[in-house]
Amino acid sequence: MLKIKFGFTVVLLQIVLLLPLALWAQKTQWIAVGDLHDWFHRAGSEPEVGRTGQVSDQQDGLRWNAQFRFQDSKAAKALWIGVKNYNDKVAEKTFNYKVIHVGPRVLDENNEFMSETFELWGKYDTPQVLVDDVPSSKLSFLEKLDAVDNELIADRMIYNVVRTSIGIKMIRTIYAFTSKKHKNYFIYEYVLVNDGIIDLEGNTNPQTLEDLVIHFQYRYAPSREGGPYGYNWLPQSTSWGHSTMNDVIYINPQTGNPLRALISWMGKHSLWTGPGDNIGGPAFLTDGHFGAPQFVGVVDIHADTSPADPSDDVGQPSTTLEIGSDDSYTYNNSQYNAAAMAQEYAVMTAGRPALSHAARVGDGFADKYGGTPGGYSAAQGFGPYTLEVGDSIRIVYAEAVAGLDRESSYVLGKQWLDNAAPFTLPGGGTTNDRNEFKNAWVMTGYDSLIQTFENAKANYQSDFRIPEPPPPPEQFTVKSGGDRIFLEWANNAEGWSGTNFSNKFNGYRVYRAIFQNDTTYEKIFECGPGTANPQVVNSFEDKTAKRGFDYYYYVSSFDDGSSPDGVQESSKFYTMTQDPAFLRRPPGLSLESVRIVPNPFNIKAREWQFGISSADRILFVNLPPVCDIKIFTERGDLIKTIRHTDGSGDEPWNSVTSSGQVVVSGIYIVYIEVTEDYVDEQTGQVIFKKGQSIAKKLAIVR
C-alpha cells in the first residue's frame, strides 16, 4: 500500500508504475465518484470539445446531479499565463508581453503546455460490478486508476505536472470527495514554480518572470438537458452559454463574511416560446420539470501574497470580469504574436468592474446583452507576481455545482406547468403568479451554491479533516432468476472506522431503479444495527421484481452516524449497475403456449403495463429458448426481426421497427421460428425442434 502524507501543500513520492502504454498516453481522465462528475485534460485545463473533439459535445462535463442524463454545465475552460518583458529563447527576441495558452479553443501540447505527469489516484479501488456475469460498472469505463492508497485524503485525486514554454513548472492537484456536504465540488491546488525549464527535454531559459499573471476562463452553460445537444426544448444558443449570467461576489450574503466567488446560471433568453421565461429551463412541452436548475462557479480559497509571503492575499484575484466567449482573442492564440499577446494581457489584468455581468444584465435578456453570439464567460486573474528563478506561488480554489435536486425539479415543475394557484414560495408565503413561484424556487440554487463554497473552504482550511464514509463493497454481483433477482456484495467495509472521527461501519443499503438507471432509485433493503434487519448480511433476494421489467441496483455501506454531519454513506456511483437484470422465466413447453402481453396493446393503458419509463413495451412469454421473432404488418411487410438467444422464455419489444420508427395502430402478425433444437436434459425428450414455427396476431391501438 502506498503511504503518503498530505498537508496544505501536497508532497508526493516519485512512483514508477508498470502501466500499459495506453495509460501513459491518456489525455483526459474522469473523476466520477461523487454527485459531480467532470473530465480533466493532462495539459492543465479543459478546452472546448477537448475530450472527444465532437461539436455535439460542446456541453461536456461538470455533470450534476450526475446520476441523470445530460446534466453537463461546462462548455470550455482556459488557463493563460502571462508575463512582461520576456526574453524568448526560441523566437530570439524579447516580448513586451508573453502569454501562453491552453483553451478555450487552442492547445499546443508540444510547445506551450506540455504534460509531464498525469495520474488519477483513488482512496479505494474501482469496485468490480457484474450483472449476469457481465461487467456492468460505468465507473470502470470512465476511470483508470494509477494508484490506490487507503490513506489518501480525498476519494479521488488527480496529480498533474505540466511544463510550459516560459519556464514555469505547474503542479495541479485536484481533490474530489464523496462525503455528505462535500460531494458536489472539486478543490484545485496550483503550485507554479519558476525553474526555467521550457520543454520536456530539459532545455532551460532561466530569468526573472516579471508581473506574472495567472488567468482562468470558465465558459459555463447550464445545462445540456434542454438544449439541442440534449432533448431540445430550450433555444439553441443556450448550449454554448449565450444566456448565461455571471455574477461576482465578495461578501457572503448569508453571513456577511468575506467570500471571493464567481457564480453562473441560465438567464433569460429572448427566443423562449414557453410560458413566462426560461429561468430553470422548464420542460414546458412535456412535464414541466426544471432542466437547468444548476448554479455553477468557483470560490477562491487561497492565493499567496508573494513568493516570500505564503499568507492568503484577500486582494486576489486582482481581475474578475466577464469576457465575450466568441471575442477574437479567444481564437487562434499564439505565443509568438506580439500584438495579440498585448491584447490578451490587457484582458488578463483588466481589474474589477464596479458591477458584475449579472448586475448589468439585470432583468433583461442575457442573450441580448453586448451583442455577442457566444454569450459571456466568467474570468479571473491572479497577480501580478514577480518570480525569481526558484520561486513559487500557490493558488487554491474550488469549483462546484448546486441547485434544486431532481425530485424537487419534477414536483415544482409540474405545479408550474399545471398553473394551479396559489403557489407556495420558498419562504413560506404564497403567490398566484406561476413564474414568480418558479423563479423563486430555482434561485434558491444560488444560496445552495454559496453554502457549498463554504463547505469547500472549511474542508481545505481544516486540512481535509471532514467526516468520511465507509469504503464501498469492492465487489457487487447481480444475477437474474426465474422468480427473483439475486444480489451479493463483498464484506471489505466491515470493521472499518473513520480516520478523522470516531464513526464506524454500521451496515448496508440496497437501492433499485426500474427500466432505466437515469431515474430516481428507491431504497429496498438495509441491514445493520438500528435497522429492520439488525444482522449484517452480504446478500439480498429481490422477490418483488415483476416479469417484463428491467431493474438496476446499487449497494452502499453506511456508518453509525456518530460524526458531526450524521450518517455517512458510500457513493452510489461505485456500484451502480449499467445493465439491467430481469426475471428470466424458463422457456415454454410448446409453441402453443407462447403468449403476447399485453394483447391488444392500448396506448391509453400503457403506463399501467410495464411502467411509465417502459410504456411502449410488449412482452413475448413462454418462448423457445432460441428462436427468431419476426413481426409483419397485416399486408405482409416485415418491420422487425428479434433474435432471441438467452435461453429464457421471455423477450421484450419496445414497439419500434428496424428503422427506428414507433409502430402505428393496426393488426400485426408475429411469426416465431425455432432456430435450435431444445432437449430436456433429464428425459432426453425434444421439446422444440429447429424449424418449428407458429404465427400469432397482435393488435396495437394508438
pLDDT one-digit tens code per residue, 28-50: 999 999 999 999 999 999 999 99
- Cell matching residue 223: 445545462
CA 210/CA 528 separation, integer angstroms: 61
Separation between Cα atoms, residue 309 and residue 477, nearest integer Å = 54
Say how far apart CA 458 and CA 447 lie, in whole Å. 17
The pLDDT value recorded for residue 682 is 83
Sorting pLDDT into bands at 50, 70 and 90, what band is 269?
Answer: very high
For residue 416, what is its C-alpha cell?
Answer: 408550474
pLDDT digit string (tens) for 399-457?
A: 999 999 999 999 999 999 999 899 999 999 999 999 999 999 999 999 999 999 999 99
CB 407 within 8 A of CB 306: no
Mean pLDDT value across residues 478-495:
96
Q: Evaluate if residue 21 carries a pLDDT over 60.
A: no
Q: Are 232 and 226 in contact (CB under 8 A)?
A: yes
Which tens digits make up the pLDDT trace of 451-475?
999 999 999 999 999 999 999 999 9
Does the structure show a pLDDT above 70 at 117? Answer: yes
Q: At what angle do helices 444-461 and 434-442 cross, to 10 degrees?
A: 10
CA angle (60 as vertex; 58, 66 as ends), nearest 5: 150
Question: What is the full DSSP assignment across 55-98?
Answer: GGGSS-S-BTTTTSTT---EEEEEEEEEEEEEEETTTTEEEEEE
| Kind of pairing between the strands at 113-122 and 147-148 | parallel
Sort 99 into a burial class: Cβ within 10 Å, 0-12 / 13-18 / 19+. buried
3-state class of 161 per DSSP? strand
What grid cell was written down for 289? 420539470
Mean pLDDT rounded to a whole number for the chain: 93
Report the C-alpha gap between 20 and 30 in whole angstroms: 18
Average pLDDT estimate for 681-695: 92
Distance CA 645, CA 236 (A): 43
The whole-angstrom separation of Cα 454 and Cα 257 is 10
> Band of the pLDDT at 681, cuts 50, 70, 90?
confident
pLDDT for 333 equals 97
Which residues, other chains included, contact 608 with Cβ-Cβ below 8 Å and sequence gap of 6+?
A: none
| Mean local confidence (pLDDT), 293-308 | 98
Percent of the chain with pLDDT over 90: 89
Q: Report yes or no: 232 and 208 within 8 Å, Cβ to Cβ.
A: no
Span 555-578, mean pLDDT?
97
Helices and strands counted in the chain (H then E):
7, 37
Q: What is the pLDDT of residues 593-647, one digit of tens each?
A: 999 999 999 877 765 567 666 678 899 999 999 999 999 999 999 999 999 998 8
Contact 365, 357 (CB under 8 A): no
C-alpha cell at 57: 459535445
| Mean pLDDT across 565-570 | 97
Written as one letter, the residue type at 196 is G
Average pLDDT over residues 351-360: 97
Distances from the Cα of 444 to the Cαs of 181, 363, 437, 439, 451, in angstroms?
A: 17, 17, 11, 9, 11
- Looking at this protein, which amino acid is placed at residue 152? L
Q: Whole-angstrom Cα distance, residue 597 to residue 546?
A: 13
Q: Which helix (H) or strand (E) holds 449?
A: helix 444-461
pLDDT in tens, 135-150: 999 999 999 999 999 9
Q: Determine contact, residues 557/570, Cβ cutoff 8 Å.
A: yes
Strands 134-135 and 128-131: antiparallel
Query: Residue 266 in contact with residue 238, Cβ under 8 Å?
Result: yes
- Name the 3-class secondary structure at 548: coil
- Give all domains of the chain, ordered by start, each with its CATH number: 21-451 (no CATH), 475-574 (2.60.40.10), 591-701 (2.60.40.4070)
Model confidence at 518, pLDDT cuts 50, 70, 90, reads confident
Which residue's C-alpha cell is 527576441?
Answer: 93
Query: Given pLDDT bands bounded at 50, 70 and 90, which one contains residue 15?
Result: very low
What is the percentage of the chain residues whose pLDDT exceeds 70? 95
| Mean pLDDT confidence for 506-532 | 95
The C-alpha atoms of residue 184 and residue 178 are separated, in whole angstroms, by 8
Region of 544 (left: φ > 0; alpha: ψ -120 to 50; beta: rest) is alpha
Contact 527/508 with Cβ under 8 angstroms? yes
Q: Is 601 helix (H, G, I), strand (E, B) or coil?
A: strand
Burial class (CB in 10 A: 0-12, 13-18, 19+), 5: exposed
Q: Compute CA distances 424 → 276, 407, 418, 583, whole Å.
A: 18, 17, 14, 43
Helix, strand, or coil here: 176?
strand
Alpha-carbon distance 639 to 662, whole Å? 10
